[in-house]
Amino acid sequence: MSDNVWRAWARRATMAPGAVYALILLSLIFSLFTAQFLTLPNLANVGMQAAVLVIVALGMTLIILSEGIDLSLGPVLGLAGVILALCVKQQMPLALAILLAILVGAAFGALNGVLVAHLGLPPFVVTLGTFGMAQGLALVLTEGASIPGLGPGIQYFNDGLIAGLPVPIVMTAITFLVIYVILYHTKFGTYVFALGGNQEALGLAGVPVRLYKTGVYVLGGALAGVGALVMTGRMNAAHPTVGVGLEFDAIASVLLGGTSFERGKGWLAGTLIGVAAVSVLRNGLNLIGLSTSWQVSMVGTVIILAIVVDALRGI
Amino acid sequence: MSKDWLSRLSRVATIILLLVALSVISPAFLSAQNLTNVLRQASLLFLLAAGLTVVILTAGIDLSIGSVLALSASVAANFIQQGWVWGGSLIGLFIGAACGLLNGLMVALIGLPAFIATYGMLWVAAGFAQVFMKGEIISGFPTSFRLLGAGHLLGIPVPILVMAAVLAAVAFTLRRTSFGRYVYAIGANREAARLSGINIRGNLLLVYSLSGLVSAFAGLVYVSRINAVESTIGEPLLLPALAAVCIGGTSLFGGEGGIEGTLVGALIMTLVTNGMNLLNVSPYWQSFVMGAIVVLAVAIDQLGSEKAGRT
């Protein structure tokens, strides 16, 4: 019996997404090289900083599962933050400001979704275009400057505590649970998986493929709006280009987490491990003292290695 | 055929419309000096878009062109500034081709989706360019190197001659060589191309390597013209280059289009930028406009081809 159990575990180990190995390996390396890495304050810091990435990466997971991609999520998050800050500065009620920020995210998601699902355009080109549009709008609205000093209402999204837990962690957990239920326990979720398998067959079976596909992008955009709350709270300011590059970390996390572009193969919890791996990588490189430029190259290399290994395993 | 003519006509009409509008907005626009300037600006965009056109013809994409340009130009500039003009230029071209080759290996041999492989390369190259430059600017290059971007030959600016030469070379390659026919065949129907005995992997490796090489070359021309380089010069170039190819009528689904269209696209994009500058439009709007043009161009192309019966 134990033989079978071992074999089952061994099989599971070879099937595990690259993120698991990356996370273990990176944690070992950084624990050896820096004394700071394996301390509670540092790990708590990694968790807090990862909150925004988790929220964006969860949306990205659904988009990638549906055989899509959204390169615009980073700048859309930046734009949503700008809208949030502008509304707060106009003395608008906080709830309305938050609603508007999330709506802006959802609107860009809807634009992406309609162009991809209804016109059948390649998602990476469409979202590269809307990347430019969102970034341009954020820059125009702020004239390239930060909007600082937003006050306690906004800072609550970083400093606040709910039942003793930091608000970003609670928001991340709630987002994960909501997306988990949507993906695994609703018809919508079942169709998202199916979208990545065979859209032609799905369409012939009478499923409104375009509607569901658009919905995935709308959800991704709205989550970028939610991420903007936490990001703006952390800085107590909005900056037009703050989100640029976040889409890259999100894509890296999703792919490391074992979700692939084809075959509708994916795992929501894998994305969490992917985010942990990417966040640990960035944090560790920071502690070692490597510049953000090196981090960009390293994350780029890790993402390429992960997809190459994934592709080779699939052959 | 009639649809072909119609879309070509619409592009030429767009250029004429832009020319008329710009000369009404600003009398200075139609001066020989400004027009030469427009052509010179268009030449850089055209060079970068030329490699991309060939990649897109194979139904691929290369999102790394901007940062490959920045990386190769940064490294090359470092050597060139010390007077090592030919050596530095060759190193730059080599780096560009090597990045392209890596893209090709990922796409052709491992079978990764082109957009994700080249997207990874975008960040790797951008990161290394930043590491190499450490946020500094290198400027002041030898006059022999400045000839490429700022010099004149027989009274014509060298970049314009370079543009003409690259246009002729790519047009000849696409039309008259077997490699050129393979590019269209692979883009139109990869499976059919494979079954008819075309070496898909070898040709794709060549296409992506060339794209990297041409990006590096565009980088040399760019650095030579503005006489300075920093690690972020490539970032704002990807969207306009992509827009130039899309407006030029090369289909993102592969197998349709050509290099002449990309020249027209590059001219249109340059006129739009020139016009925004003449109108004193905030540079912050430019990113929005570039993005919107990319979206519109691909949407119009797709709607047009749906009517023409392509699915």
CA–CA distances in Å: residue B227 to residues A84, B146, B160: 41, 7, 17
Structural domain includes residue A7: no
First to last CA, chain A: 31
Q: Is the pLDDT of residue B310 over 50?
A: no
Q: What is the DSSP string of chain A?
A: -HHHHHHHHHHHHHHS-HHHHHHHHHHHHHHHH-SSTTSHHHHHHHHHHHHHHHHHHHHHHHHHHTT---TTHHHHHHHHHHHHHHHHHTT--HHHHHHHHHHHHHHHHHHHHIIIIIT---HHHHHHHHHHHHHHHHHHHHTT--EE---HHHHHHHH-EETTEEHHHHHHHHHHHHHHHHHHHSHHHHHHHHHTT-HHHHHHTT--HHHHHHHHHHHHHHHHHHHHHHHHHHHTEE-TTTTTTHHHHHHHHHHHTT--SSTT---HHHHHHHHHHHHHHHHHHHHHT--HHHHHHHHHHHHHHHHHHHHHHH-
Determine contact: B173 vs chain A, CB below 8 A.
no
pLDDT tens sequence across A127-158: 999 999 999 999 999 998 999 988 888 898 98
Structural domain includes residue A173: yes
Contact B185, B196 (CB under 8 A): yes
* Partner residues linked to A145 by β-bridges: none
Structural domain includes residue A191: yes
Using a CB-CB distance cutoff of 8 angstroms, which residues of chain B are in contact with residue A261?
113, 116
List the structure tokens of A236: 């107590």
pLDDT tens sequence across A288-299: 888 777 888 888
Portion 118-137 of B in contact with A at CB < 8 A = 119-124, 126-128, 130-131, 134
Among A83-92, A152-161, B198-207, B299-308, whose mean pLDDT is lowest?
A: B299-308
Higher pLDDT, A193 or B98: B98
Portion 280-299 of A in contact with B at CB < 8 A = 291-299
Q: In whole angstroms, what is the distance from residue B89 CA to residue B216 CA?
A: 9
Structural domain includes residue A176: yes
Rg value, chain B, Cα: 19
Q: In whole angstroms, what is the distance from residue A171 CA to residue A162 CA?
A: 10
- What residue spans define the domains of chain B? 31-235
List the structure tokens of B304: 């047009």
Using a CB-CB distance cutoff of 8 angstroms, which residues of chain B are in contact with residue A137?
288
Q: How confident is the model at residue B13 (pLDDT cuts 50, 70, 90)?
A: confident
Q: In whole angstroms, what is the distance from residue A269 CA to residue B31 CA?
A: 62
Structural domain includes residue A2: no
List the structure tokens of B52: 């991309």
Question: Nearest CB to A128: which of B284, B289, B294?
Answer: B294
Closest-CA residue in chain A for B300? A119
Contact B229, B89 (CB under 8 A): no
Shortest Cα distance, chain B CAs vs residue A299, angstroms: 8
Sign of the Cα torsion A48, A85, B294, A194 reads positive
List for chain B the helix, strand, coil content (%; round to 5).
Answer: 80, 5, 20
Cβ atoms within 10 Å of B201's Cβ, excluding its own: 15
Rg value, chain A, Cα: 20
Beta-carbon separation of B63 and A291 below 8 A? no
pLDDT tens sequence across B145-191: 888 888 888 888 999 999 999 999 999 999 999 999 999 999 998 88
Average pLDDT, rounded, for chain B: 88
Name the one residue in this structure whose structure tokens are 């993906």: A183
Residue B229 main-chain phi, psi, to 5 deg: -145, 140
What pLDDT, on a 0 to 100 scale, did the predictor assign at position A15?
Answer: 67
pLDDT tens sequence across A238-270: 999 898 889 999 998 998 888 877 766 778 888
Q: In whole angstroms, what is the distance from residue A290 CA to residue A282 CA?
A: 9
Portion 46-85 of B in contact with A at CB < 8 A = 61, 63
List the structure tokens of B279: 């109108």
Q: Nearest CA to B117 among A252, A304, A274, A313?
A: A304
Domain assignment of residue A293, given as a range = 18-314
What pLDDT, on a 0 to 100 scale, did the predictor assign at position B307?
Answer: 58
Portion 133-192 of A in contact with B at CB < 8 A = 133-137, 139-140, 143-144
Domain count, chain A: 1
